[in-house]
Amino acid sequence: MGTYFYRLRQKTREIGLANLVKAGASGLVNRALRLIYRFDPWHVSGTFHSRPYKAKVVDMINARKPDCVVEIGTGLGDLIGRVSSAKTFGFDLDPAVLKAARWLLPRTSVLAPGNFQEPDGIIATLKQHNVRQIDCLVLVNWIHMIDFDTIERSIEMIDRACPIRSILMDSIKAGADGYRFHHSEIEMKTLGRIVQTRDGDETRTLVMIERGP
């Protein structure tokens, strides 16, 4: 019990009381959706208001006034659901979490299963919706599981079909344990020009990369 209150106090210090209340409310909604769809428990507690990096990601994307945003690894759609863009696409490996996300996002957001490592399905869906250009490709809070050669290869495949203007991804800070890959800025520079970096949270830095001609 003592540990519970200690953690609650720490979290209130980190995100503030208002966000704690909002996080509690979305946690309840996500818990109910999980009872139906049985998706990964991470999504229950990793809500928009409990994870400060999410609002920063949304701000970084919206500042670019994009027309088309594609997020791979979208989960419950906390990020694309808050992006002010005419066209939003959310892809995820897990069809169960997408079924739950469908309740939370506007109908205009396209949600479809897709695997970043084998992006043919993602490309087919984008073509089906006549996407000619991706203004921002978002790869956040899972890309640390993928080696950089694979990241480069999948991005090239998507880019050949639908040119990508910018990529927003996270790099894991040195010293953060338990992550398979950290992805340095040196590696990210192979994808394009780094135009913005922002502290996401204690674990991650958010990096915006612009792709040139």
Cβ–Cβ under 8 Å, residues 73 and 143: yes
Using CB under 6 A as the binding rule, the residues of this chain from 34 to 73 that contact ligand SAM are 42, 54, 72-73
Q: Which two tokens stand for residue 178?
A: 């338990």
Q: Which of 75, 172, 205, 209 binds ligand SAM (CB under 6 A)?
A: 75
Using CB under 6 A as the binding rule, the residues of this chain from 117 to 136 that contact ligand SAM are 117
Q: Look at the alpha carbons of 68, 26, 22, 140 in this order and tell me if their dihedral is positive or negative.
A: negative
Does 141 bind ligand SAM (CB under 6 A)? Our answer is: yes
Nearest to 210 by CA among 60, 54, 89, 53: 60
The minimum distance between CB 199 and ligand SAM, in angstroms, equals 16
Taking the least distance from each CB to ligand SAM, the nearer of 66 and 114 is: 114
Interatomic CA distance for residues 174 and 183, integer angstroms: 10
The minimum distance between CB 54 and ligand SAM, in angstroms, equals 6
Q: Which of 58, 60, 81, 116 binds ligand SAM (CB under 6 A)?
A: 116
The minimum distance between CB 203 and ligand SAM, in angstroms, equals 12
Neighbours of 131 (CB within 10 A): 19
Does 92 bind ligand SAM (CB under 6 A)? Our answer is: yes
Can you state the percent helix, strand and coil of the chain, rounding each to 5? 45, 20, 35
Neighbours of 105 (CB within 10 A): 20
Q: Which of 93, 104, 157, 161 binds ligand SAM (CB under 6 A)?
A: 93
Length of the chain: 213
Piece of 21-29, 86-94, 172-180, 199-207 that binds ligand SAM (CB under 6 A): 86-94
Site string for ligand SAM, 142-171 (x = CB under 6 A): x-----------------------------
Taking the least distance from each CB to ligand SAM, the nearer of 3 and 147 is: 147
What would the DSSP string read from start to end of 88-146? EEEEES-HHHHHHHHHHS-TTSEEEE-BTTBTHHHHHHHHHTT---BSEEEE-SSGGGS
Piece of 58-66, 101-109, 110-118, 181-189 that binds ligand SAM (CB under 6 A): 110-118
Cβ–Cβ under 8 Å, residues 113 and 93: yes
Q: Which residues bind ligand SAM (CB under 6 A)?
A: 42, 54, 72-75, 78-79, 91-94, 97, 114-117, 140-142
